[in-house]
Amino acid sequence: MEYLGTLLHRLDELFGPHWGTVAFTNLFAAVFIFWLVRVARHIASSEQARAVNYLLMLLGALLGWGGAMLFSPYGESDKGTFDHIGKLASVFLSGYLVSKIDRFIEATSFVDKAPVTETWIRAGLFTATALLALIFVVTNRMYFRP
């Protein structure tokens, strides 16, 4: 029992007091990314479709990672910089992108008012990967601090 107490104390010293949360998040992130890659490969009808799925997942991960950086700055200098970047991004998103996204969704996601299944699955892959990256990066930035 003393060994376990020593081990837990050493883990706290090395990785901070929330090492269990970080380890749990990282483990489940690895499991989820494995299944997302498997789904992306399974639903692809060709090599090109598979590459598109992977590209969308990569873009989702990068978007989630960037969003996580905005939500979890390390210090006051990061917070000021990220606040400024966040304001610029919100102006772009609320202005130009929102005005164009409606037409894009209508043109690519529906044919004769019926949903295109492959497009919605790809949107799900993109969204799931973005959320996974967001949760992974925020958890590690917030709790993996000795």
Tens-place pLDDT, residues 80-96: 777 777 777 777 677 77
Check pLDDT > 80 for residue 66: yes
pLDDT of residue 146 exceeding 70: no
**Tell me: the pLDDT tens digits for 28-64?**
999 999 999 999 999 999 999 999 999 999 999 999 9
Alpha helices in 2-116 (DSSP H): 2-15, 19-43, 47-71, 76-92, 98-109
- Answer with the residue of higher pLDDT: 130 or 146: 130
Q: What is the pLDDT of residue 133?
A: 96
CA–CA gap between residue 114 and residue 146 (Å, rounded):
52
Predicted TM-score (pTM) of the model is 0.77
Both structure tokens of 85: 């970047």
Check residue 46 and report its DSSP letter.
S
